[in-house]
Structure 1
Amino acid sequence: MLRLRDLACGYGRTPVVHGIDLHIGPDEVVAVMGHNGAGKTTLLRAVAGLLPAMRGTVELDGTDMTRRPANRRVKAGMAYVPQGQQCFAHLTAGENLRLVADGRRHGKALIDAQLDLFPALRPLLGRQAGLLSGGQRQQLAIARALITEPRLLILDEPTEGIQPNVVAEIESTVVGLAKRGGLSVLLVEQHLGFALQAADRYYVLRSGRVASEGSTGVEAEGRVREAMSI
């Protein structure tokens, strides 16, 4: 579904990510982990089209997306949920959802489908998004992204600053979506427990390079911690 080949990117002339090779299969959840400054968010921004590639390629389902702008990548099936529970704070939760759904076929049905995934949002549709808790805003942000009917969902630190019970809900939803079929997930996450529970495979970044990769499982946490401490 997603393949990165020798991808390098950064800010201005300063590279942050160096020669990343990464792939995600259909209906697969892949986690990218690493300490702050490892290049995780920079990598996601390049995949989403918000940063240009200095070198290498980004392919979605076999199509080269490297030079396509972010809006073209959304149309092709990418959805990016950035770090920080971002939303239009002055709009209600319902207006946030309708803003994305307007103009789409079956827009109301798409909204209803996301409210079924995140039922805690239903009683909050009339409340300003800026007044929601961090966990509620994160659920709203993911619901908005899913309204675009993506084939690849890109999540940057979805559990940051969120209470544990909501973390468990988001984990269950992400895993359930992938198992349902038709959606792959690229997940950047500092919470090792969440990442290794939700993901099928992992990559560890260190100084903008892949330090370790493999399948999640009983020994994965030890390998990840070792790679992060080298």
Structure 2
Amino acid sequence: MLEIKNVRAGYDRSPVLHDVTVTVPKDGVAAVLGHNGAGKSTLLRVAMGLLKPRSGSVLLDGEDITRLAPHQRVARGMAYVPQGQQSFPHLSTAENLQLVADGRGGGRMAIAEVLDLFPVLREVSSRRAGLLSGGQRQQLAIARALITRPRLLLLDEPTEGIQPSVVAEIEETVLALTRGGGLSVLLVEQHVGFAMRAAQRYCVLEAGRVTSSGVGGTDAEQTVREALSV
């Protein structure tokens, strides 16, 4: 679904990514792991068109989208959930969802679908997003992205700072979405267990370079932990 090929990228004169290649399988999950500062979020920004690579290419379903703007990538079926559980804090949960649905033409059906995935959002539909718990805000952020009915979802550390029970809910939702077909996921994550249970492919970044990559799954968990401990 997505190929990031030999990408070099950075900010001003500071290089961050060095010839990074990552492949996301169709209707599957690719996990990118690494410590803080490894270049994981920069990789997602390149994938989404928020940062222009200095060299290399980005292909979506075989189409070279390296020069496309973010809104053009959204129109082709990409959605991005950055770090920080982002929403409109002064709007209610329901208003946050409706705003996206109105912009994308999804309407009530799209909202109903994401509420089935995250039932807790029904319980807090009238509450301002800024007053939600961290886990609820993260579920809202993912729900907002899913309303656009993407083919490719980019998730930047969706479990960061969230209690274990909510981590399990998010994990199950990601797995259910990819099992159903029609959605691929590029997952940036530090929670190794979650990432390896979800991913068919993985890569480990260290100082902007891929130091380990391969087939995902629980059998690869120890290999990834060893790569991260170096």
Q: Quick check: TM above 0.5?
A: yes
On the 8 A contact 2:199/2:217 being kept in 1, the answer is: no
- Give the Å deviation of 1:14: 1.7
Distance in 1 separating the partners of 2:206 and 2:103: 42
Note the C-alpha offset of 1:136.
0.3
For 1:172 and 1:106, locate their aligned partners in 2 and report how far apart those are by CA, in whole Å.
24
Amino acid at match of 1:32: V
State the partner residue of 1:79: 79
**Counterpart residue number, 1:64:** 64
8 Å CA contact retained: 2:193, 2:218? no
2:222 aligned residue: 222
* Distance verdict in 2 for CA 1:218–1:163, change over 3 Å: closer
In structure 2, relative to structure 1, the CA distance for the partners of 1:42 and 1:103 (3 Å cut) is closer
Structure 1 CA distance for aligned equivalents of residues 218 and 129 of structure 2: 39
Tell me how far 1:50 sits from its aligned partner.
0.9
The equivalences for 1:96-115 within 5 A come to 96-115=96-115
Trace 1:1-230 onto structure 2 (pairs within 5 A).
Answer: 1-230=1-230
Q: 1:43 deviation in Å?
A: 0.5
Q: Which contiguous aligned blocks of 4+ residues in structure 1 show a shift greater than 6 angstroms?
A: none
- Supply the AA of the counterpart residue of 2:100: V
How many Å apart are 1:214 and its aligned residue?
1.2
Provide the C-alpha distance between the structure 2 equivalents of 1:36 and 1:21, rounded to a whole number of angstroms. Answer: 19
Q: Does the 8 Å contact 2:44/2:154 carry over to 1?
A: yes
Moved more, 142-151 or 10-19: 10-19
Instruction: Report the Cα distance in structure 1 between the residues aligned to 2:216 and 2:22, rounded to whole angstroms.
Output: 15
SS of 2:104 mapped into structure 1: coil
My pick for the range that moved more, 38-47 or 100-109, is 100-109
Q: Which moved more, 1:95-104 or 1:57-66?
A: 95-104
Secondary structure at the residue paired with 2:3?
Answer: strand
The alpha-carbon distance between structure 1 residues 228 and 133, as it changes in their structure 2 partners (threshold 3 A), is same
In structure 1, stretches of 5+ residues that fail to align are none
TM (norm. structure 2) is: 0.97
Which stretch has the larger CA shift, 18-27 or 178-187?
A: 18-27
**Over residues 182-217 of structure 1, what are the superposed CA-to-partner deviations in whole Å (9 max), with x where a residue is unaligned?**
000000001111111111221100110110011123
CA distance in 1, matches of 2:8, 2:154: 18
Pairwise CA RMSD: 1.1
Paired with 1:13 and 1:88, the residues of 2 have a C-alpha distance of 33
Structure 2 residue runs of 5 or longer lacking an equivalent are: none
Task: Quote the Cα distance in structure 2 between the aligned partners of 1:107 and 1:72.
Answer: 21
Q: Deviation at 1:124? A: 0.9
What is the aligned residue count?
230
State the shift of 1:218 in Å: 4.3
